[in-house]
Chain A
Amino acid sequence: MKVALFATCLVDTMTPSVAHATAALLQRLGQEVVVPPAQACCGQMHVNTGYRREAVSIVANHVRAFEGAEVIVAPSGSCVASIHHQQAAVARRAGDEALAQAAEELAGRTHELSQFLVDVLGVTDVGAYYPHRVTYHPTCHSLRLLRVGDAPLQLLRAVRGLELVELPGAEQCCGFGGTFAVKNADTSTAMLTDKMANVLGTHAEVCTAGDASCLMHIGGGLSRLRAGTRTVHLAEILASTEEAVTPDQKAIPAVTA
C-alpha cells in the first residue's frame, strides 16, 4: 500500500524522531511511504482554542496537501480524531460545503498508527525488539474519540524483550489538553502530578503513548523532576529492532533524527 504519512505539526517541528520511526516501521512492514511536503497542521489547536474561523484555511491546506492519497497515517490519536470529528464541521459552519465534503472523504482514509497496523494491516507482531520495562498511557482522544481499544497493547505485548507493566489509573487524563496546559497551568500540573505518581509507581523505564503532545507534557514533568523514567512514543518502540538497539542504549529510541 502507498501510505501518505501525516507527521502532525508538533511531531514535525519538535519531535521529528517520532515521524522517522513511523516511516521506518511502515517501510519495514512492506508499505511504500510518501511524505506530502505541503502538509502542516490538522487545525485542532485553533478549533479547540476558539479560533474555528481561522482553522478553515488550515483544514483547506491539509486537504490540498493530501489530495489523492490512497491512505493517510498519523502517529497521533488526537490529530486523527480532529480530522475525523472536527474538520468537516468547521468547514461546514463557515459555509464551505465543498471543503467539508473533501475533508470527510479524506477522514475516511485517515488512520491513527496503531489502528492502521492492527485493523487495516492486520498485524500485531511488527517484529520489534525493545528490552525495557514499559508502561502504556492511553491518551484520551485515542481512548474515547477514536476508540483504539487495546490495539496499542496488542502491539506492545508482541514486542520481544519488552516487559509491559500496567499503569494504575491509566484512563485518567494526564492534564495536557492543548492550550489547557497553559491557560489552566495549575490544574493541568495537578493532573500531571497524579499521572506521574502512577507512572513512577510502576518503576517502568519508559512511559509510552500514541500522542507526542501528551508525552511532551508527561515527559516534560518527569524530566523537570529528574525522574529516571522517560517518555517514548509508541512508534519509536515499534520501530526498534535488535539491529537498532545496543545493550547500552537503554531507553533511548532506536530511530533518531
Chain B
Amino acid sequence: MTAVDLGMPGLPHAPRGVGHLRGAESFPDAARGALRNGQLRANLGHATSTIRGKRANVVGELPDWEQLRAAGKALKTATMARLDEHLEELERQVTARGGVVHWARDANEANEIVTRLVQATGTSEVVKVKSMATQEIGLNEALEAAGLDVFETDLAELIVQLGEDSPSHILVPAIHKNRAEIREIFARTIPGVDPGLTDDPRQLAMAARAHLRERFLRARVAVSGANFGVAETGTLTVVESEGNGRMCLTLPETLITVMGIEKVVPTWRDLEVFLQLLPRSSTGERMNPYTSAWAGVTPGDGPQEFHLVLLDNGRTAVLADEVGREALHCIRCSACLNVCPVYERAGGHSYGSVYPGPIGAVLSPMLTGVEDNASLPYASSLCGACYDVCPVAIDIPSILVHLRGEHVEAVARDRDRPTAEAVAFRGLAKAMSHPRLWHLAQRAARLGRLVSRGRPTLPNALPPPISGWTRSRDLPTPPTKTFVQQWTEEHRS
C-alpha cells in the first residue's frame, strides 16, 4: 500500500488511463480559464437559476418533503450496510427471469464485457440511453476502438457527442451550450439537415428526432444505465424525459445495462420514495414523463437477450470510508450542481470528471483515490447549499472537509519534509493552543502595520499566499491592540 492510498488497504480505486474521472488540470487552473468565458457564465447562470426555481416550487408544495428525504436517506443507509446480500439477491432474480449478470471490478473489465457482448451479436451499431456509469468508464471510446458505431440518443448527450465535446452536468450534459450554439452544431454535423434550421427549441428537437428515429428502428443492440435495480424482483428502472430511453429499452433484440453497484434497492416498495424524490429534485417536475421498468426477458415482448453488468470501479473503496460512504447514496438528481455557486461560475468541465459539482467534488476523489483528484475537495466554499437540497440528505460539506483531512494526512505520510503550508498550519496550531504564544503571534501580525506605513489597508502586491487575497481584495491594516489585550488592560483589578 502506498502512503497516499486511502480507505481499506487492498481495495482498488478506479484505474488510471481509462474513463473520465480525472482531469488534465487542477480545479483552480481549469476554473481560471472557464471564469473568463462570458458565454459559458451566461448560459450556466440562466440554466441553473431557472431549474433552481422550478425545483423550489415543486419541493415546496410537498408538506412531507423532509420526511421523504429522511426516508430516502434511511433506505440508502440500510441498503449500503448489506450491499453484498442485496446484490446477490439481484443477481439471483435477474438470472431467474432470463437475464445474465456480469460482475465488473473496474472500467476496463466493464468495457471488455460490453464490447464482447456487442460483438457476439454481429452488429456494428449501438444505440445508447444516457448513463453516467458508461460515461464514467469511457464505454463509447472502448466500443469505437473496437470498430463499433455508438449513437447517444438523449438530446443533450447527442449535442455533446455531435459537438465532440464532453458533458458538463450529470442531467443536462450540454447545459453549457445555448440554443444558438446547438443550432450551429446540428447544422454542421447532422447529415441532410434542413439548411433553414433555426434556433427554435422545437425545430432543434425535431431535427434530432429525425436523425435518431432511423437509428432506433434499425438498432439491434442498446446499452443503458439504470437509476435503480430492485433486488427482490430483479427489476431494472430507467427514469427519463424524452422517450428515447423507452425506444432503446424496447426495440432492440439485445439490451445491455451497466449499473453501479450502489444503485441496488432491496424492494419494489422503496421506489415509492425515490420516484417522488428524484423528478422533483432533478427536472423540477412532479413526475418524469417516462419511467421504464423491466425484469429479465419476456418472450415475444422487448429485447430477447438481457445482460446486466454490475460495476464496482472504486465503489467498494468508497464504501470502506466511514464518512465518505454517504456519497454512494447519490441518486444523480443534480440538484446540488444547480444550487452550487462554485459550479454555476466555474462550470462542469473545471472538475475534470463526469461527476462535477458538489457530489463530483467528493465522489471523484474517492473513486480514484484522493491523490488523483487532490484539488477537488477544496473546490467549495462550504456554503452548504448542496446539503440543503440533496433529496437523500448527503452531508457533502462534511465529506469535503473529511477528504481535505485525508489529503493533508496522505501528503504528510508521503513526504520526508512537510509542505510550507503544513509548517505554517502546525506553527499556527501551536500558537493557538498556548495563550502566551498566541499573544506573541498576534503581535507579529501587527508587523503588517510596518508594511502599510500608516495607510488603512495593506499594499496590493504581497507575496503568496497572501497575494491570492490581495489581488482582488483590500486587506485592512491590523490595529495596534487586540481586543483581549485592551479589555484585559482596562479591566485589571
Interface string of A106-143 (1 = CB under 8 A from B): 00000000000000000000000000000000001101
> Is B383 within 8 A of A177, CB to CB?
yes
Contact between chains at A57 and B429 (CB < 8 Å): yes
Q: List residues of B (407-455) whose CB comes within 8 Å of A's CBs.
A: 407-409, 421-422, 425-426, 428-435, 438, 442, 445
Please state if B484 and A61 are interface contacts (CB–CB under 8 Å): no
Contact of B482 among A12, A61, A175 (CB under 8 A): A12
- Shortest beta-carbon distance, B466 to chain A, in Å? 8
CB-contact partner of B429 in A58, A172, A186, under 8 A:
A58
A159 to B415, CA, bound (A): 56
CA distance A14 to B445 in the complex (A): 9
B481 touches A140 (CB 8 A): no
A43 — which chain B residues lie within 8 A by C-beta?
432
Interface residues of A in 195-235 (CB under 8 A from B): 216-217, 219-221, 223-224
A180 & B382 in contact (Cβ 8 Å cutoff): yes
Judge whether B475 and A220 touch: CB under 8 Å: yes
Asked if residues B381 and A223 are in contact (CB atoms below 8 Å), the reply is no
Minimum Cβ distance to chain B for residue A13 (Å): 5
Q: A257's contact among B378, B382, B479, by CB below 8 Å, is which?
A: B479
Partner of B483 from the list A11, A48, A185, A192 (CB cut-off 8 Å) is A11
Closest chain-A Cβ to B49's Cβ sits at a distance in Å of 9
| Residue B117, interface by CB 8 Å | no
User: A residues within 8 A CB of B465?
Assistant: 182
Stretch at the interface among B28-36, B78-86, B153-161, B330-338: B28-36
| Segment at the interface with B among A31-39, A97-105, A150-158 | A31-39
Distance in angstroms from B446 CB to nearest chain A CB is 8
Q: Given A57-B429, A187-B346, are A177 and B380 neighbors across the interface (CB < 8 Å)?
A: yes
B438 contacts A181, C-beta separation under 8 Å: no
CB of A35 within 8 A of CB of B487, answer yes
Chain A residues whose C-beta falls within 8 Å of the C-beta of B432 in the assembled complex: 9, 40-41, 43, 57-58, 61
- Minimum CB–CB distance from B321 to chain A (whole Å) comes to 13
Interface flag for B67 (CB, 8 Å):
no
Return the contact of A216 from the options B404, B431, B476, B491 (Cβ within 8 A). B476
Q: Is the CB of B387 within 8 A of A144?
A: yes
CA distance in complex: A178, B491 (Å): 33
Q: Does A162 reach chain B (CB closer than 8 Å)?
A: no
A198 to B35, CA, bound (A): 19
B385 and A182: CB pair below 8 A?
no
Cβ contact within 8 Å between B425 and A185: no
Contact A177 B433, beta carbon cutoff 8 Å: no
The residues of A that contact B421 with a CB separation of less than 8 Å are 49
Q: Let me know if B474 is at the binding interface, CB within 8 A.
A: yes
Interfacial chain A residues near B408, Cβ < 8 Å? 49-51
Interchain CB contact (< 8 A) of B457 among A15, A49, A188, A223: A223
Residue of B nearest to A190 (CB): B345
B27 at interface by CB-CB < 8 Å? yes
Contacting pair B381 A173 (CB below 8 A)? yes
Closest residue on chain B to residue A171 by CB atoms: B385
Q: Is the CB of B472 within 8 A of A141?
A: no
Q: Which of B181-232 touch A at CB < 8 Å?
A: none
Of B341, B346, B429, which contacts A173 at CB under 8 A? B341
- For residue B478, CB closer than 8 A to chain A, the reply is yes
Residue A71 at the chain B interface, CB threshold 8 Å: no
Contact indicator per residue, chain A 16-35, by CB within 8 Å of chain B (1) or not (0): 11011001000000000001
Contact B401 A60 (CB under 8 A): no
Chain B CB within 8 A of A46 CB: yes
- Whether A51 touches B438, Cβ cut-off 8 Å, given contacts A12-B484, A144-B384, A190-B35, is no
A137 CB to nearest chain B CB (Å): 12
CB-based nearest B residue for A256: B479
Establish whether residues B474 and A220, one from each chain, have CB atoms under 8 Å apart when the complex forms. Answer: yes
Bound Cα distance from A141 to B381, whole angstroms: 11
Given known A16-B486, A186-B32, contact A48–B382 (CB-CB < 8 A): yes
Contact between chains at A48 and B473 (CB < 8 Å): no
Contact with A along B378-402 (1 / 0, CB 8 A): 1111111101100000000000010
B486 A257 Cβ-Cβ under 8 A? yes
Task: List CB contacts (< 8 Å) of B257-296 with chain A.
Answer: none
B32 contacts which chain A residues (CB < 8 A)? Answer: 186
Chain B residues in 8 Å Cβ range of A144: 383-385, 387-388
Minimum distance in angstroms from B46 CB to a CB of chain A: 14
Residues in A with CB closer than 8 Å to B433 are 40, 57-58, 60-61
When A and B form their complex, which 4 residue pairs have the shortest distance between CB atoms, in order from nearest?
A177-B381, A220-B473, A50-B408, A50-B404
A48-B404, A181-B468 given; 5 more Cβ-contact pairs under 8 Å? A13-B442, A14-B476, A181-B469, A223-B474, A224-B472
